[in-house]
Structure 1
Amino acid sequence: MNRAPPQTIRSVPLTVPSKPATGAGRSIGTILVDSGRLSPPDAQRILDFQRERGVRFGDAGIALRLISDDDVRYALSIQFGYPYLARGSTLSRELVAAYQPGSRPVEQLRELRSQLMLRWFDTGADRRGLAIVSAGAGDGRSYIAANLAIVFSQLGERTLLVDADMRAPRQHHLFNLGRTAGLSDMLAGRAGLEAVVGIETLQDLSVLPAGAIPPNPQELLGRQDFSKLLQSLGEDFSVIIIDTPPASKCADAHTVAVRAGAALVVARQDRSSVPQLARFTNGLREFGVALVGSVLNDVKFASGSASAAN
């Protein structure tokens, strides 16, 4: 049976685009009242307490137990046009860059983002793709890929997160997308742009899930169709972050890294094998992959220490 050619990718807006901060010029109290999180009488009580004690509105409201930390973070996200997920969101709690943007792990990811912009994404118009790879399983590639994509989108970069782990995919779980069409379906010519999902609550971020688990992921990724797809998607996105399977399980990570042109290597503290990691990175270099950074995870899927490396 002849395989149907993949659908041509055309330039269309796939993300929820950035927009000016609608809360600019509005106080925290006004934002909370307008959103129904705070009643006008309680807002006045907070204002009176604020004047008496000389403290910030948020601190006054929390002290009076009329608002929560989450309310304050919500109001600040509106004031500064900063995507933020409230605790009641259906997206996974592993997305710490959206739930806890001020936490230390997320600050470390921002530092890594700055290094990656300087070393890869800002160094050439064709440098848009970055594969997130690791030598072994359980190192936290999906966690790093998802949160790194979020911090890039928070910078205002049109960002696409691609789940190229067509063996044990996780991104559709993290973003609560369900079992929808995805990368495998696009490469098999069974789906088009509708497989790319804009994340409404996170401006400038879209996700291309893995899709149906195919019997031949290595062959799908090894075809020129995958390279052409990445090139086409690069017309719509300035940053493409690609999640991959562990290199110890299959050769998919090598293939994806070669197609992307660059890789960020993830290792897990007190777990990753140094000899295995050395063999893996040497293999990537032999294939001409630019190794633009590394991440050392110190806790599985929860927090990590991120650092750029040559």
Structure 2
Amino acid sequence: MELRDYVRILRAGWILVVVMALAGVAAAAIFSLVSKPQFKASAQVFVSTQSGGTVTDLVQGSTFTQQRVKTYAGLVTTPIVLLPVISNLHLSTTADDLAKSVTATASLDTTLIEISATSPDPVQSANIANGISQSLTNVVQNIESTGSQSAEVKLTRVQEAEVPSAPVTPNVPIDVALGLFLGLALGVGVVVLRHTLDNRVRSDQDVQTISAAPILGGIMYDAKASKRPLIVQDDPRSPRAEAFRTLRTNLQFLDAGEGARCFVVTSAIESEGKSSTASNLAIALDNAGHRVIVIDADLRRPKLATYMGLEGAVGLTDLLIGRADMEDAVQQWGQGGLHVLPAGSVPPNPSELLGSAAMQSLVKRLEGQFDYVLFDAPPLLPVTDAAVLSKFAGGAIVVVAAGRTHRSQLAAAVTALENVGVRLFGFVLTMLPAQGPHSYGYQTYGYGPVYAQDDVTVGKESRRMMHRRVRGLSG
């Protein structure tokens, strides 16, 4: 992924990142409040050796001392040094437990040993550091002494531990900063991981990774879509209606200059909005003055007649089996040039009917009578109806529901069309969010708030007048 992909991912999941960062800060603050303060005191011991006055003796003595310093620093946490301290200070602890709160460090190329002790009591921390420095001096003196000769190595405490005035832990600013950093890192990691594991199509970039076919339009999500499926007619000034008019405009530029245009509107899976897309697109084309027919070719779960408010007892099935004429099955909708052919009776063999010679003959007949022929076809993955029908039409338009359709499902649908040699005109993204990084359409250009403030209700008479004005302008 490129940098802009990560930016887009973080824009989509910024709320989670902020929540995780705040959680990290809160956890660090709580930890700082409940943690018992710890105080640290340090003492320094100087290590020296007795040597002759020559330069060689001085160099050898210095080298010997530096080698011994590391050994003496290791003795600090041993029981031989700690047990006398525990006894002298009357500490209720063991040598092993005390060693956990004591550290000894020897700086490189020096003969100094820094002994530090940590304790909840500041006075006790200073007493322990001073006691250990004195105990280490005595232990080394005893170890280095041989017989009646005094030790050549001498330890001298050069810095006495003072009582600390402030605890070393908890350090609230550092703890909060660390909690913020860890929260941000965890939040970013979760957002990126969730995006990587999420296989759903959410934007046009996801679609373009699957197919080079263009994005013809994007339809925003509408919670009231089930109550007003024909948004172009019911609320023509809404952003969603404007999105269908944009789709109409893009569709008019496909293969400009040819005759009748026949499209199969389908999807990968069900409930992606293909029926509402086909019906609203048909109304938008009709408003532009075109002669349009929209056909419900979903012979398994027909919806178009219900959406359009028409009687669907007689329709496509009856035409294909010769039980009805076109004049009896096709119904005019509105005052313009829009006609609707419902599905009719649900047959036992939908795929065979849609792939029959009668269907091919009907498509040619409709292309000769209308400017646009739109088929509302079943989804591609559950059944083969749409792929079979698309061979007779000019091509297919695939509707993709953002946040619902998986990329693997869309890829399988595209492959199903390619396997039968069907032309894929493009995609229509539906259920897009109105705001955010995955938004699409007029909200991006700032028209959305104007339309969103309007609550337009168009009556039957005003709808007729609107049809007349549009037809007059197009004529």
2:279 is matched with which residue? Answer: 146
Superposition pairs of residues 274-293 of structure 1, within 5 angstroms:
274-293=407-426
Residue 366 of structure 2 corresponds to 233
Mark the structure with the bigger radius of gyration.
2
Residues of 2 paired with 1:140 and 1:237: CA distance? 24
Task: Give the conservation status (yes or no) of the 8 Å contact 1:267–1:295.
Answer: yes
Among candidates 185, 188, 197, match of residue 331 of structure 2: 197
CA-CA distance at 1:202 after TM superposition = 4.4
* Secondary structure class of the residue paired with 1:241: strand
Letter of the 1:195 partner, please give it: A
Matches within 5 A, 1:68-79: none
Q: 1:236 to 1:191 in 2, by over 3 A?
A: same
Does residue 133 in structure 1 map to residue 256 in structure 2?
Answer: no
Alignment correspondent of 2:349: 216
2:258 is the alignment partner of 1:124: yes
User: Equivalents in 2 of 1:106, 1:190: separation in Å?
Assistant: 37
Q: Distance in 2 between matches of 1:305 and 1:186?
A: 40
Contact 1:184–1:211 (CA under 8 A) maintained in structure 2? yes
User: What per-residue deviation string (whole Å, max 9, x for no partner) do you get for residues 93-152 of structure 1?
Assistant: 2100111111111211111211111114x3422x42100010111101101000000001
Mapped contact 2:381–2:412 kept (Cα < 8 A): no
Bigger mean CA deviation after superposition, 92-101 or 214-223: 92-101
Aligned residue among 291, 297, 302 for 1:164: 297
Q: Which runs of 5+ in 1 are unaligned?
A: 1-91
Worse overlay, 280-289 or 161-170: 280-289
Within the alignment, does 1:245 sit opposite 2:417 as a pair? no
Take 1:146 and 1:196, find their aligned partners in 2: how far apart are those partners?
15
Match of 1:96 in 2: 231
The answer to whether the 8 Å contact 1:294/1:306 transfers is: no
Per-residue Cα deviation, 1:168-213 (whole angstroms, up to 9, x for no partner): 00011011213321000000000111100001x2411110000000
- Whole-Å separation in 1 of the counterparts to 2:300 and 2:440: 27
| 8 Å CA contact 1:297, 1:305 repeated in 2 | no
Are residues 293 and 218 of structure 1, via their aligned partners in 2, closer, same or farther at CA, if it must alter by over 3 Å?
same
Q: CA deviation at 1:227?
A: 1.1
* Pair 119,306 (structure 1): closer, same or farther in 2 beyond 3 Å: farther
Distance in 1 (alpha carbons) for counterparts of 2:356 and 2:306: 27
For the residue of structure 2 that corresponds to 1:234, the secondary structure is helix
Runs of 4+ in structure 1 deviating by more than 2 angstroms, as ranges, are: 285-288, 304-307
Aligned length: 210
Q: Find the residue that maps to 1:240 and give its secondary structure.
A: strand
Which structure is higher in RCO with an 8 Å CA cutoff and minimum separation 6? Answer: 1
- Distance, in Å, in 1 between the alignment partners of 2:407 and 2:298 is 23
Identity of aligned residues (%): 35
The amino acid that maps onto 2:423 is A
Counterpart Cα distance in 2 of 1:305 and 1:203: 30
SS at match of 2:314: coil
Letter in 1 for 2:431: D
- Aligned letter for 2:238? S
Code of the aligned partner of 1:270: G
CA deviations over 1:3-43 (Å, ceiling 9, x no partner)? xxxxxxxxxxxxxxxxxxxxxxxxxxxxxxxxxxxxxxxxx
Question: Which residue pairs with 1:262 in the alignment?
Answer: 395
Query: What's 1:28 paired with?
Result: none
Q: TM-score when scaled to structure 1? A: 0.64
8 A Cα contact 1:116 1:293, kept in partner:
no
TM-score when scaled to structure 2? 0.42
Task: Indicate if the aligned counterparts of 1:264 and 1:293 stay in contact, CA closer than 8 A.
Answer: yes
Residue identity matched to 1:242: F
More helix by share: 2
Letter in 2 for 1:190: R
Q: CA RMSD in A?
A: 2.0
User: 229, 233, 243: which one pairs with 1:108?
Assistant: 243
- CA separation of 1:305/1:160 partners in 2, compared to 1, >3 Å: closer, same or farther? farther
